[in-house]
Chain A
Amino acid sequence: MTDAPDLELIGVTKRFGTFTAVREVSLVVERGQFLCLLGPSGCGKTTTLRMIAGLETADAGEIRIAGVRVNETPPWQRDIAMMFQDFALFPHMTIARQVGFGLEMLRRPADDIRRRVADALVAFEITALADRKPDTLSGGQKQRAALARALIVEPRVLLLDEPIGSLDYNLREAVMLELRDVQRRLGISFIWVTHDQNEAFSLGDRVVVMNHASIEQVGAPEDIAERPRTRFVAAFVQGTNVFDGIVAGVEGDHVRVRTPTGDFLVSAAHVGPPAARAPVSFSVRAALLSAQPGREHVNQVAAVCRAVEYLGAIRRYDFRLGDGHSLKLEEFTGRGRRLAEGEAVTLGWRIEDGVLHAPGEAPA
């Protein structure tokens, strides 16, 4: 094996007629990385995955697997495997037969196939299902069979299209951990497409947020959640408050942003000072807001408590500002008293708690 990254996309574009499904997407997946493609439906994440698999051809750009351009390589010659959302188990084959399907297609000797299928069935604890047809399996069993079938060809990259989306909710957590374990043990790359940020954040070494055919941000889960680069990412991530306004002035490293509910100071250290009067947006995480602001909380705003959710470890408040804008605040329980619904308070946050977004998309 070479030291080349498992996967590279360079300016990859896909159009369906006049609709651009994927626009100039570039990213690198290092050896053995767990990458999550996160975004709302229709953002181009599944099309990107299908181009990596070879099920769609890229109209522009280059796709490299293990350093080799594969744009012209058909799916059956690419060093990948794929897990489909509906698992795509072959209804006419027993589980043992379809787990061995990939090896059969590679024309491995029958003895070899039998032995490796038996090993795979043991590894994924589905030996008892060997002679059953898929339609008699539960969701979790299907998922294991599909995984065993995909991994038996020992791909360099495993592509997973919403692989737990069709499982029962209470099964997902366990399956996520199991898949994560498998990925760590085999040391191959996983590219996991999902619209669920909890999946992306808890699994991914890196998360790629996509919207409208383009990449909005690439980074560790912490980067995405705590330092959203664009307004879209901030709005997409749960537990983040987004403010829209215009630049009212630049004061050193800080930008004064004028919003309908007042002026706020935001650090601009990582994006550089924007032009005066330019429309901007910034975000503040719900966990960083304080309902008992002190002197360090330079930004303050009057709000009325509208709803309280008790979530065990944390309380989540929904506040209403003077202009009808809603603000979320999360605080640990057991500290301070619970605010009553309808109670008027002052909310505050520090300058460095605000994250100024890169210019671009207008507020929705």
Chain B
Amino acid sequence: MSTLRERSPAGYALAAPAGLWMLGALVVPTIFIAWVSLWAARGFTLASPLTLANYAKFFTRPAYVRVLGDTVQQALVMMLITGVIGYSIAYFLVVHVRHPGLQLAVFLLLVVPFWTSALIRTIGWIPFLGVNGVINQVLLLTGIVDRPVEAFLFSRTGITLSQVSFYTLLATGPVVYTLRNIPPSLPEAAQCLRATPLRVFWRIVFPLTLPGVMIGQILVFLNVMADFATAQAIGGHKHAFLGNLVILLYESGQLAFAAVVAVLLMIAMLLGVAVLLKVVDIRRLGES
């Protein structure tokens, strides 16, 4: 699979435009952020002396550490929820909706919301979750509650609900792909070897879709870690993740400290991906 070709000068020339772009738009700014995070000065000055005090400050303030913890916890909760729902949708789509046209139609239903902007989608949740929102109206009408529930909007529950709706597809797509790649003869062979459907699933189907599950988990993890818009729109100002903290600090002019949070966010994301990649070799994706 890994066919590394001999490197030729032409290859470098071809890679140069994209490489320069990545260098200017990604590598240099990242290094710059890391550098800024070490600034001792409060404002913008390239002559600032360097110090690790900013990091020390972050870890000695419980409020900041709690935001880091909340962010990681939110990502883990989201991975669990979207993992289960996404897998169920993928399984339903591939195994139960056999007709190709119908499969496409259902998949489009899932994808279409992604054609609208993230902002609209997020704001769209507000009339749904609010005190006079759709959920509360339904709950009141059916008599399940006798007073509107306030816990939906401006709460972690609300944030989680809307994030689930945004990110489940990320956990679905890769599983659909790996499920489709399983030859039908494998589960059939297992059945003929006395395996009940449940054991066919856990012993054959699920292990073979693990690379897809892991890719979905990585996508959800990265997106939730970096998500600040949902917390801002749905969570009001009561809830903050690392992304919100970066904005908050940046807006209040604490550049170095904003950079610290940004660097920590990046490190957390890289660590998370490294751990997930250790669990399953995603390079086996697509091998049957």
- List the interface of chain A (C-beta within 8 A of B): 53-55, 74-77, 80-82, 84-86, 88, 90-92, 101-102, 105-106, 135, 149-150, 153, 159
Contact = CB atoms under 8 A, between A and B. Distances in A.
A91 B182 CA distance: 10
A102 B193 contact: yes
Contact of A84 (B185, B195, B199, B288): B185
A81 B190 CA distance: 10
B196 interface: yes
Interface string B182-193: 010110111111
Interface residues of B, number: 19
Contacts, number: 64
Nearest to A155: B192
B278 interface: no
Which 3 pairs show the lowest CB-CB distances between chains A and B?
A88-B189, A88-B185, A102-B193
B193 A149 contact: yes
Nearest to B192: A82
Interface string B207-229: 11000000000000000000000
A76 B204 contact: no
A88 B287 contact: no
Nearest to B196: A76
B193 A81 contact: yes
Interface in B260-288: 287-288
B207 A84 contact: no
B186 A90 contact: yes
B96 interface: no
B193 A55 contact: no
Contacts of B195: 76, 101, 105
A106 B194 contact: yes
Given A84-B185, A105-B199, A92 B193 contact: no
Contacts of B191: 54-55, 74-76
A86 B288 CA distance: 12
B288 A91 contact: yes
A88 B188 contact: yes
B209 to A, nearest CB: 11
B183 A101 contact: no
B188 A105 contact: no
A317 B157 CA distance: 84
